[in-house]
Amino acid sequence: MIDWVYMAEIALSGLGSAALLAMTGVAFVLIYKATRVVNLAIGETLMLGAYLFFGFTSGMELPVWLAIPLVLLCGGLFGAVIERVMIRPMLGSSALSVFMVTIGLGSILVGAVELIWGLEPHRLVSFISEKPVFLGPAYVSPKTAVAFAVSVAMIAVFLAVFRFWSGSLALRATATDPGAAYSCGISVPKVYSLSWVVACMIATGAGILVGAIGGLSSSMGVFGLTVLSVVIMGGLDSILGVLLAALVVGLVEAYAGALLGGEYKMISTFTLLMAMLLVRPHGLLGSAEIDRL
Amino acid sequence: MSKHDGHASQPILSIENLSLKFGGIDALSNVSFSVQPGSITALIGPNGAGKTSMFNCISGFYKPFAGDIRFQGNSIRQTPPPLRAKLGLARSFQNIALFRGMTVLDNIKLGRHSHIENNLFHGLLYRGRARREEQALSAEIDREIISLLDIAHIRDEPVANLPYGLRKRVELARALAMRPKILLLDEPVAGMNREETEEIARFILKVREEWGVTVLMVEHDMGMVMDISDHVVVLSFGKLIAAGRPQEIQSNPDVISAYLGADAAGQLKRADAGEVVQ
């Protein structure tokens, strides 16, 4: 006999993690779209956000309403600095070299966090009400509900800006042909910088939510690997594809975790990724590059 | 004698002792020439002569090793490309550089990017005004550029679907949307047949006529160069070897030997008769 309420509860928690995956995935795609950099440090950026929040609230004992904008501010600043000193000098070198630089950046972040906050896991101050949320008979953890609402709102704002702001045309132009965009009067360095700033703000913001749900540890950047699979499944440069893939991965992970056991979460994700790559190498909605011979 | 031949007016663009090096190779050495306002100036020379390098210096992609570039009397050597675009330098590329996923209209609109207010907060605060500006821009592009270049029928098509000749025309349209004072065209008719070439030549003349835009173009099609240009500058191995009116260039022995080789004189004669010399 299947317990439908239980199944619905799993789906709801899956939706919560799907929203977080989608939010971080959007940050990843933004950087990839604008600068063609595969940023493997996105998971560590998220970790940095969580630890900064921990530092502001538990260490400096700032109120939560102040700590959140501070984390986002630091995230944006971090993005700007990294883009300017690590990524821009690599402009024009092979994609693989830049990719390696982002792996290095990830290691540096893990090391820095361990040096400052130590190896042992931490818990964030609880700032989300503990009152359980019920959707009909199904129970949703309040943290998951908040994470879901915030992520969805953030993605909606992002999509609206992307759709209606004339400046986003400049981003798309830069993405397709930086040289032509540059000579059309678009300040390409500004576009690069802006995309890193916004993406890192989103990632650190997601870090606060992920940290609030699962606690902090220096290995929480592994979340970035799941995000990477989501992004590859979605097609690297398609925001809609990432949203769809996040939904699928979030739900599959939730069911695998609940029905088979926690250790099957990652296995199911990567099995899905492999199957996907066999069937559609360009991802769900990715653009296939067609070369004319 | 037209005003372009005189030295009375101040040149709109002057290249002064420009040198460009890549490692130990002199891509350009000590090149000087000037472009008179309202003229059509052609930059010619064999492959690898440094024509596109010169274009890249003028639009700011390459930093010259020595020398200066003056636009309307002011040095633009230190000016970054987007600001040069704003000053009125627009270019097209040898290999078409359009934004593939976008429609023809969006591509052309992007040419106007540096002239419109794109600030996000401005856009949110004055949504009505931003939309009106956008509509005015589309209308203006329709009226002035799309009709001029005869591309109304493909206005809303994605550029990826268009054939080569039309894409070249869209690129020209985008450059025009920048309201340039000087239009830099890198091989505007490369790979085109005679009819398409004549059509583009007509567009270039029309643009000069109606908008008063100065044109500097790199072109291999000698028929077109001799037909429409007022002034021809010849580069060979990074050096300037001749500059003058088309007729003078055609009979210049240095040009003939350096540029076209032994059998050149005959070829130039044929080019004059309207054939294409590759």
* pLDDT tens string A102-118: 999 999 999 999 999 98
- Name the minimum distance, in Å, from the CA of A187 to any CA of chain B: 6
pLDDT surpassing 50 at residue B126: yes
Which residues from A are below 8 Å from B85, CB to CB?
Answer: 183-185
What is the amino acid identity at position B272?
Answer: D
What is the amino acid identity at position B124?
Answer: L
> How high is the pLDDT of residue B1?
41
Residue with tokens 């050096």: B239
Average pLDDT of chain B is 83
CB A7 within 8 A of CB A136: no
**Would B184 be classed as within a structural domain?**
no
Which of A184, A195, A240 would you mutate first to test chain B, the one with the most B CBs within 10 A? A184
- Position B136 confidence tier, pLDDT thresholds 50, 70, 90: confident
What is the amino acid identity at position B193?
Answer: N
**Would B269 be classed as within a structural domain?**
no
CB A210 within 8 A of CB A20: yes
Minimal Cβ distance to A184: which of B60, B101, B111? B111
A34 touches B: beta carbon within 8 Å: no
- Which domain covers residue B112, as residue numbers? 89-179
Rounded CA-CA distance A270/A292 in Å is 33
Is A186 in contact with B114 (Cβ distance < 8 A)? yes
Minimal Cβ distance to A185: which of B86, B99, B100? B86
Percent of chain B with pLDDT over 70: 85
**Would B245 be classed as within a structural domain?**
no
Is A176 in contact with B120 (Cβ distance < 8 A)? no
**Would B52 be classed as within a structural domain?**
no
Which of B118, B121, B125 would you mutate first to test chain A, the one with the most A CBs within 10 A? B118
Rounded CA-CA distance A282/A278 in Å is 10
**Would B215 be classed as within a structural domain?**
no
CB A212 within 8 A of CB A143: yes
Domain spans of chain A, in order of start = 17-220
**Would B134 be classed as within a structural domain?**
yes
CB A96 within 8 A of CB A221: no
Is B114 in contact with A179 (Cβ distance < 8 A)? no
Using CA atoms, how far residue B105 sits from A137, A139, B141, in Å, is: 53, 51, 8
Say what the pTM is.
Answer: 0.81
Which residues from A are below 8 Å from B106, CB to CB?
Answer: 169
Q: How far apart, in Å, do the first and last CA atoms of chain A sit?
A: 58
Helix-helix angle A264-279:A223-234, to 10 degrees: 20
Rounded CA-CA distance B112/B216 in Å is 20
pLDDT surpassing 50 at residue B6: no
Residue B120 sits in a domain whose CATH number is: 3.40.50.300
pLDDT surpassing 60 at residue B278: no
Phi, psi of B23 (to 5 degrees): 60, -125
> Would you tell me which residues 164-223 of chain B have a C-beta closer than 8 angstroms to some C-beta of chain A?
174, 178
Element spanning B244, H or E:
strand B239-244
Percent of chain A with pLDDT over 70: 97
Is A184 in contact with B110 (Cβ distance < 8 A)? yes
What is the amino acid identity at position A207?
Answer: G
CB count, 10 Å around CB of B3? 12
- Name the minimum distance, in Å, from the CA of B269 to any CA of chain A: 36
Mean pLDDT of the B17-27 span:
88
Is A176 in contact with B101 (Cβ distance < 8 A)? yes
Which residues from A are below 8 Å from B178, CB to CB?
Answer: 184-185
Q: Is the Cα torsion angle A274, A280, A281, A284 positive or negative in sign?
A: negative
Minimal Cβ distance to B113: which of A176, A179, A184? A184
Rounded CA-CA distance A25/A28 in Å is 5
- Position A4 confidence tier, pLDDT thresholds 50, 70, 90: confident
Mean pLDDT of the A55-74 span:
93
Which of B92, B95, B110 would you mutate first to test chain A, the one with the most A CBs within 10 A? B110
Q: What is the DSSP letter of A124?
A: P
- Position B277 confidence tier, pLDDT thresholds 50, 70, 90: very low
With 0-12 / 13-18 / 19 or more C-beta atoms within 10 angstroms meaning exposed / middle / buried, residue A109 is: buried
What is the amino acid identity at position A59?
Answer: G
The domain tally of chain B equals 1
Of A13-17, A60-64, A75-79, B233-237, give the range with the top mean pLDDT. Answer: A75-79
**Would B117 be classed as within a structural domain?**
yes
Q: By CA distance, what is A179's nearest residue in B? A: B97
Of A163-177, A230-244, B100-114, give the range with the top mean pLDDT. Answer: A230-244
* Pairwise pLDDT comparison (A2 vs A150), residue with the higher score: A150
Q: Tell me the ipTM for this assembly.
A: 0.72
State the count of interchain CB pairs (< 8 A) between A and B. Answer: 79
- Name the minimum distance, in Å, from the CA of A48 to any CA of chain B: 28
**Would B146 be classed as within a structural domain?**
yes
Of the ranges B22-31, B63-72, B173-182, B258-267, which one carries the lowest mean pLDDT score? B258-267
Which residues from B are below 8 Å from A186, CB to CB?
Answer: 82, 110, 113-114
Minimal Cβ distance to A186: which of B59, B82, B97? B82
Percent of chain A with pLDDT over 90: 56
Minimal Cβ distance to B134: which of A166, A176, A188? A166
Question: B10: closest CA among B74, B54, B89, B57?
Answer: B74
Q: How far apart, in Å, do the first and last CA atoms of chain B sit?
A: 30
- Name the minimum distance, in Å, from the CA of B174 to any CA of chain A: 8
Is A173 in contact with B99 (Cβ distance < 8 A)? yes
